[in-house]
Structure 1
Amino acid sequence: MTTVRLPLFPLNSVLFPGLVLPLNVFEERYRAMMRELLKTPEGEPRRFAVVAIRDGHEVASTAPGMPDPTAVPELGPTAGFGADPARAFHGVGCVADAATIRERSGGAFEVLATGTRRVRLLSVDATGPFLTAELELLPEEPGDGSGALSEGVLRAFRQYQKRLAGARERTLSPGTDLPDEPSVVSYLVAAAMMLDIPTKQRLLQAPDTASRLRDELRLLRSETAIIRHLPSLPAAELTRGPTSMN
């Protein structure tokens, strides 16, 4: 088992490998994290781990851009997460590599990171100014039939987007440049579908690529059938991800 210790950034969303994560960082515990990441030597990755917050816990406000009133510096890095913060988070997350960390006037940060690989949360350390975690690096096993499943998922995904967009512009066509690596397809589709956090979390922690693709195929067929009976939505809604606030 290969483990790493990284800063921990809990979010009300799920990050997948290969996906871009824009962050607007203004709470002090996460500003301290970014200041520490900026000390990383030139040429080395500025890595932190992203985990999704479990439903039902006392956590930050869900409205984008609304600070958590419980997260004041005097209460420390666990503010809003309870006495045992590990119980407030899902057990599988994703390592993020911050390509850009830009400080704004007033001390907030604009961050642009990319998910790299999955990790399992082993323990959480709250002794510093921000949370850190011991994490197990998880392999990405292909599973049986991932290649054929990937092709089926891409076909179903095109149909899903077409229905979601009301058959208007920006729907995917057969000539659209899409990945053909099954694991990349599985994460792209998981991130692009309009799903709740528990479902996205289930896809993230699937035991292998083939299992994730099978689940996605079922979801795509089900969601596409539902969308047939809904009003048309702009195509941009499929791929537009909101900037995560803290």
Structure 2
Amino acid sequence: MGERLPLFPLGTVLLPGLLMPLEIFEERYRVLIRELLEIPDTETRQFGVVAIRRGREVGPAVPMIHEVGCAALLRRVEAHPDGRFSIVTVGGPRFRVRSVDEGDRPYLVGDVDFMTDPVGDEADATTNTAVVARLLREYTERLAASGTVEIKLPDLPTDPTALSYLVAAAVVTDITERQGLLAAPDAATRLRAERALLRRELGLLERITTVGSNELSRIKPSSN
């Protein structure tokens, strides 16, 4: 048997080390936050974020969730007069859901196994840390130049695991692909996938830029 952890299904993926602000308005999750606040602040206040595979965040129906999630460590809580909470969490360790209990609590509770974060093949991870960092910088510069979105990068970590999660958060992709990066068995595997992902996205951005330039060249100036 694993550990019991309150679960919060969301239509997004939380990654270790990354911040996630949340607005808590459903009563079941208000109950969860109130219960967490009863835990002494010298102890860990956490719940598990699991990405939804099928279903909705809001409503009584229980959504289908992905097997691998990430613990959300409660860092800041602001209570509002109407009972809502504004919270800030940071991603903690990953976990694998064994089973889900829909019993006596208003929210889901999972029987989970917390996962380690191995580097994997160290030589491969070291090589790809440098390659992926370079590709990520190029990717964010291309995004900004295209006007698609601007991502402000912090100083990039040299630790393979930390970089792999930062890249997983920064790349504009869908929930399925981001979930796959979260669930990767080790940092080396995740970085290899991100190297391929960034090269694919850079190729798409290059084609978009080329098409845009060609369209502009066809526009004739107005005589007015």
- Same-fold call, TM cutoff 0.5: yes
Q: Which residue matches 2:61?
A: 80
Q: Distance in 2 between matches of 1:28 and 1:141?
A: 38
Q: Which residue matches 2:177?
A: 199
Aligned-residue sequence identity (percent) comes to 42
Q: Please identify the structure whose Cα radius of gyration is greater.
A: 2
Higher helix share: 2
Match of 1:228, SS state, is helix
Q: Letter of the 1:155 partner, please give it.
A: R
Query: Which structure 1 residue ranges, 5 or more long, are not aligned?
Result: 61-67, 72-78, 232-246
Q: Which residue matches 2:159?
A: 181
Q: Letter of the 2:180 partner, please give it.
A: R
Q: Which residue matches 2:131?
A: 152
Q: Letter of the 1:93 partner, please give it.
A: G
TM-score by length of 2: 0.86
Residue among 120, 123, 142 paired with 2:119 = 142
Q: Which residue matches 1:20?
A: 19
Q: Distance in 1 between matches of 2:151 and 2:102?
A: 46
Q: Which residue matches 1:59?
A: 56
Residue among 83, 91, 104 paired with 1:115 = 91
Q: Distance in 2 between matches of 1:225 and 1:97?
A: 37
Rate the CA distance shift 1:208–1:103 in 2: closer, same or farther, 3 A.
same
Q: Distance in 2 between matches of 1:171 and 1:24?
A: 23
Q: Letter of the 2:113 partner, please give it.
A: E
TM-score by length of 1: 0.78
Residue among 65, 70, 74 paired with 1:89 = 65
Q: Distance in 1 between matches of 2:155 and 2:41?
A: 33
Match of 1:24, SS state, is strand
Per-residue CA shift, 1:86-123, capped at 9, x if unaligned? xx000000011001122111101101000011100111
Give, in angstroms, the shift of residue 172 of structure 1. 7.5
Q: Retained in 2: the 8 A contact 1:95–1:115?
A: yes
Q: Retained in 2: the 8 A contact 1:162–1:172?
A: no
Give, in angstroms, the shift of residue 177 of structure 1. 2.3
Aligned length: 204
Greater relative contact order, per chain length (Cα 8 Å cut-off, separation 6+): 1
Give, in angstroms, the shift of residue 141 of structure 1. 1.3
Q: Distance in 1 between matches of 2:188 and 2:112?
A: 24
Q: Letter of the 1:109 partner, please give it.
A: F
Q: Which residue matches 2:47?
A: 48
Give, in angstroms, the shift of residue 32 of structure 1. 0.8
Q: Which residue matches 1:235?
A: none
Q: Retained in 1: the 8 A contact 2:49–2:69?
A: yes
Q: Distance in 1 between matches of 2:146 and 2:22?
A: 32
Per-residue CA shift, 1:181-230, capped at 9, x if unaligned? 00000000000100100000010101111000000000000101101233
> In angstroms, what is the RMSD of aligned CA positions?
1.9
Q: Retained in 1: the 8 A contact 2:3–2:112?
A: yes
